[in-house]
Amino acid sequence: MKKTLTFILILFITLQSYALSSYTASYELYAKTKIGSLNIGTALFVLDVKDNQYIYTTEAHTDLLWKALYDYSRTERSIGQEIDGELISTHFSVVERIKNKVKKNYEITIINRNYAISSNGKEWKIDPGNLVDQLSVYLILANDLKKNPNQLEFIYQVANEDGVEYQKFLVMGYETLNIKDNEMETIIVNCPELRLTLNLSMAHNFLPVLIHKVNVSSEFKLILKDYKALS
């Protein structure tokens, strides 16, 4: 009972104090292999907020020791703005390399929340409602959880190189994680379409402290290593 009351109090305080603010967060990258889960690399998330504008970037890569087995790197960049408490994505870019060969390299520009235009020349009309990119979804999901703490389903239009698709993010419950000898109260959110599960830390303004992604033939986890709020 005491733990439940403490959990509710933490949730209440966090929801009241959430605001978009700059931070850096580093992660350890794990891959599931035949011999178990191995730490094969690192990732860095950086959120830079100035006035009502934000730039969100990620860089992930395998360590030198593992490059012979799996040489991978991916850089993402999302640009947007906050208007009346709503986060609006305006530009997204991705560069992905495998074994030094570029597998993905594209940009998406969102115009007046009505159209998304890809650097490959494709253009898509957007339905009214929430529009995110593959990176800003972390920020917008956190913002929506703060505004609607009892909501169990969030639906977004997610823009990527293939177009704009509707995807559901489902609140599955709560979980206490022990990361680097620190207990963290988290909310579990699952996106079936992306085969993605997030553990969002309430003490870190709903930052994902564990990201679990399943691809066709591979499975990865990002586990928070270090977090630093920036003034």
User: What's the mean pLDDT in 121-144?
Assistant: 88
Instruction: Determine the pLDDT at residue 112.
Output: 80
What are the angstrom distances between the C-alpha of 63 and each of 20, 123, 159, 181?
Answer: 31, 37, 30, 24
Confidence check: pLDDT of 19 > 70: no
Average pLDDT over every residue of 100-129: 88
Residue range 58-110, pLDDT digits in tens:
999 998 877 777 788 999 999 999 888 788 899 999 999 988 899 999 999 98
Over residues 25-67, the pLDDT tens digits come to 999 999 887 777 888 899 999 999 998 899 999 999 998 877 7
The pLDDT score that the predictor gives to residue 3 is: 42
165-214 residue pLDDT tens: 999 999 999 999 999 888 999 999 999 988 999 999 988 889 999 999 99
pTM of the model: 0.86
pLDDT in the model for residue 25 = 96
Percent of the chain with pLDDT over 70: 91
- Do 190 and 196 touch, CB atoms closer than 8 A? yes
What pLDDT score was predicted for residue 86?
Answer: 83
- Count of Cβ atoms closer than 10 Å to residue 45 Cβ: 23
pLDDT: which is higher, 86 or 231:
86
CA atoms within 13 A on the CB side of 137: 25
The DSSP string of 27-67 is EEEEEEETTEEEEEEEEEEEEEEETTEEEEEEEEEE-GGGT
Tally the C-alpha atoms within 13 A of residue 107's C-alpha that lie toward its C-beta. Answer: 7
Mean pLDDT (the chain, rounded): 86
- Tell whether the model's pLDDT for residue 10 goes beyond 90: no
Higher-pLDDT residue of 90 and 9 is: 90
The reported pLDDT for the residue numbered 80 is 93
